[in-house]
Structure 1
Amino acid sequence: MNYTKLSKEFIYQISSLILAVIVVHAFYLSIVRPEAATIIKEQQAMIQQDVNYVPERSFYVIIRDFEQESCFILMFWAFSIMFMKARNSYNERKLFTEDLIPIKPREKITPANSTEFVRQLEDLDGSKQDLFLPRTLINGLKRFITTRNVQDVSISTHNMVESEADRLESELSMIRYIAWAIPSIGFIGTVRGIGGALSLAHRAVDG
């Protein structure tokens, strides 16, 4: 497990969340809530002039509450995480097209020449060394140098692949949690809106 990579991803996720909060909240303070307040004030004035007036639904009024703001923050945060995952996936797939272990025709990989292959892999750029394929190849070659057993290398590589798959699966749990949280927060806003409407129901009864 590459802890440097994990720390970079953690910092990226925290930074993207903070940025989403700042941008969305600034948009709400500068545009959404002032526009919504102006529209509501105009609609109230129209209702006082004409009791049969039916206010038009405004986008700013619909999204002005804190629940909608939270949903937008989570949405942009999820997009930033998915962008990072897509970029990492692209870099991983791109590396599969490169010849990381240059083997000549009829040449075999032996414990003797594996050391040179490991050195070439370790000389890759830092951004490439963090990727899965170079790490797996280095681990397999070092295992081959130590044990000189192909079966042992196969088992070790298989375990590493399964471990990487589990790690990727666990990282996607954040996206699944956000996908669950957004409608849940929206439901809270719906309940709050219904409660506010019921609290004013006596006015309609009184005429």
Structure 2
Amino acid sequence: MYFEFTCAQCKKKLRLREEYAGKKARCPYCQHAQVVEPPAPSGPADPLSFLREVLPARPDSGAARASTPPATTPPARRPAASASRDESASGTEVNIWHSGLLGFAGFMAIYAVLFPFQNSYLGALLWQRGWVQFAEIWFASWSVVILIFKARKLSVQRRSMLFDLLPADISKEINAESAGRFMQHIRGLPIQAGESFLVNRVLRGLEHFGVVGSSGEAASRLQSQSDIDANAVDSSYTLIKVFIWAIPILGFIGTVIGIGQAVGSFSAAMSAASDLGALKESFNSVTGGLATAFDTTLLALVLSMFIMFPMSSLQKAEQDLLNWVDEYCNENLLKRLKESGAAPLLRGADGKAMQAAIDAAMAGHHAEFRAWAKKLEATGECLAQQIAKAWTQTDEKIRERHTQAMREINKAGESFQQTAERLKTASEKQAAAMNELAPRTAEIQNHMVESMERSAQSICSAAESLNSYFAAIQDGLGSLNNVLGQLGEKQVVVQAPQSRRRRWRLFGK
């Protein structure tokens, strides 16, 4: 049930559901926020009140209502838009180009802020992982801008629910005569029909009822408009859903690129396996490729979750808003519709002319409904086919690249294992050779020590012999000096011994 309350600042009458009593609401006229006071308890219900709804209205009721002066509508805060503009405006669509430009500006701002911090983990994640990260951040920024615009539109929609679109001051019942005054009152409100599902739906229902004069037809028209609004809400999230689908695909593409770089670097590392320094440097390239592969997928999944949760919340809020609009129309419009004969514009016309006028008036709407239904159906089928085809192709490419990468990794692992085995065998041989050389080296060292000891002993004995020899020479020289002193000036004649003269004989010496 709905109840009326008055804005504390601008004194305008507003309507709200009873469950919102005691909560804060913002006036759509002056934007003043206040706590809505609960409605005062009404007196005892009239036990015969149901007869007013069952019994037909008296013939003079129309004259009585006609004699009642219409309530003066407040002046509009801005000029009312034309009917064509109201029909073309949308309360849920977001301009793709404006949101795309603002999303690109947000993308540039993010990278400008992180430019001085490229050495940090977050800066390296966005700056040093290839082009995939740039595309993911741009799509995410675009989606966030669209969600912000839709949140603002949803806020306007909720504020418009407080308008008293069908005030009882104009007429307690809505018939073909009073429908025009209600439409004039609604067009004087400070909101366009395209900005609010409620205002647009009530206007279309009143216009249809004013032409046809049938509450059943008006209910059908409201139901058709409800379906159109629901389809518009669903289609407004198509681009965001595409981004939510595209961002993880970009993450998988980055994973394939990173794994490809890692495998290529690992193949180069295996070709330089004999050089341990080059092997270590090549492993840095391998780990860099793996970091790119994992970081792109991580960022894509985080961004998808970051977009998906607020999108689901906004979509649910808009669906609740549409349910609220349906309830408002059922409670405040359909229950007050009273069929009082033919509409004023069609009185005096025969049945065929009336049917022709109705068909002519509804032909454009039916054609519009069919065109929109076909467009939505074609768009949905085309989008589903493109998504399925793209996903199949991407999945096949990812599987092929993954299989090829796994084969190369297995080959590289086998070659690495063989190289490790060869290095292990060489190290074992070197250890065995060192073990064999150790006792020989010890034996040679012992022989050298013994030889040096023997040489030292020989040198020592030779030195002693020289000392004794020099001592003997010194004694001989001393004896010679003594002999020479004893001789003095005596003449010493040294005669050479005479040798026998050999003679040669005939038969010998």
Q: Sort the TM-score into its range (normalised by shorter chain).
A: 0.7 to 0.9
Counterpart pick for 2:100 among 17, 28, 35:
17
Aligned to 1:182: 247
Q: Does 1:124 align with 2:189?
A: yes
The answer on whether the counterparts of 2:143 and 2:240 sit within 8 Å (CA) in structure 1 is yes
Q: Does 1:170 align with 2:235?
A: yes
Letter aligned with residue 101 of structure 2? I
Letter aligned with residue 219 of structure 2? S
The answer on whether the counterparts of 1:92 and 1:131 sit within 8 Å (CA) in structure 2 is yes
Deviations 1:21-75 (A, max 9, x none): 244246547844x754xx5xxxxxxxxxxxxxxxxx8332332221111111111
Question: How far apart are the structure 1 equivalents of 2:248 and 2:204?
Answer: 43
- The change in CA–CA distance for 1:138 and 1:26 in structure 2 (over 3 A counts) is closer
User: 1:1-207 maps to which residues of 2 (within 5 A)?
Assistant: 2-5=87-90, 9-10=94-95, 13-25=96-108, 27-28=110-111, 31-32=114-115, 36=118, 39=119, 58-64=121-127, 65-104=130-169, 107-127=172-192, 130-205=195-270, 206=272, 207=279
Number of residue pairs matched? 184
Deviations 1:128-156 (A, max 9, x none): 65311111111111111111111010001
1:190 shift after superposition: 1.2
Question: How far apart are the structure 2 equivalents of 1:163 and 1:69?
Answer: 37
The answer on whether the counterparts of 1:2 and 1:130 sit within 8 Å (CA) in structure 2 is no
Question: How far apart are the structure 1 equivalents of 2:102 and 2:156?
Answer: 25
1:92 shift after superposition: 1.4
Instruction: Please say which structure displays the higher CA radius of gyration.
Output: 2
Deviations 1:49-107 (A, max 9, x none): xxxxxxxx833233222111111111111111112222222221222222111114982
- The change in CA–CA distance for 1:2 and 1:188 in structure 2 (over 3 A counts) is farther
Letter aligned with residue 94 of structure 1? R
**By percentage of residues, which structure has more helix?**
1
Letter aligned with residue 88 of structure 2? Y
Question: How far apart are the structure 2 equivalents of 1:87 and 1:174?
Answer: 18
Question: How far apart are the structure 1 equivalents of 2:242 and 2:180?
Answer: 44
Question: How far apart are the structure 2 equivalents of 1:91 and 1:174?
Answer: 22
What TM-score, normalized to structure 2?
0.33
**Gapped regions of structure 2 (runs ≥ 5):** 1-85, 273-278, 280-509
Question: How far apart are the structure 2 equivalents of 1:77 and 1:170?
Answer: 17
Letter aligned with residue 230 of structure 2? A
Question: How far apart are the structure 2 equivalents of 1:30 and 1:97?
Answer: 42
The answer on whether the counterparts of 2:193 and 2:200 sit within 8 Å (CA) in structure 1 is no
Question: How far apart are the structure 2 equivalents of 1:29 and 1:87?
Answer: 27
1:111 shift after superposition: 1.1
What TM-score, normalized to structure 1?
0.77
**Gapped regions of structure 1 (runs ≥ 5):** 40-56
SS in 1 for 2:178: helix
Identity %: 22
Question: How far apart are the structure 2 equivalents of 1:5 and 1:147?
Answer: 26
The answer on whether the counterparts of 1:20 and 1:73 sit within 8 Å (CA) in structure 2 is yes
Letter aligned with residue 198 of structure 1? V
Aligned to 2:45: none
Question: How far apart are the structure 2 equivalents of 1:30 and 1:105?
Answer: 58
Q: RCO greater where, 1 or 2, for CA within 8 Å and sep 6 or more?
A: 1
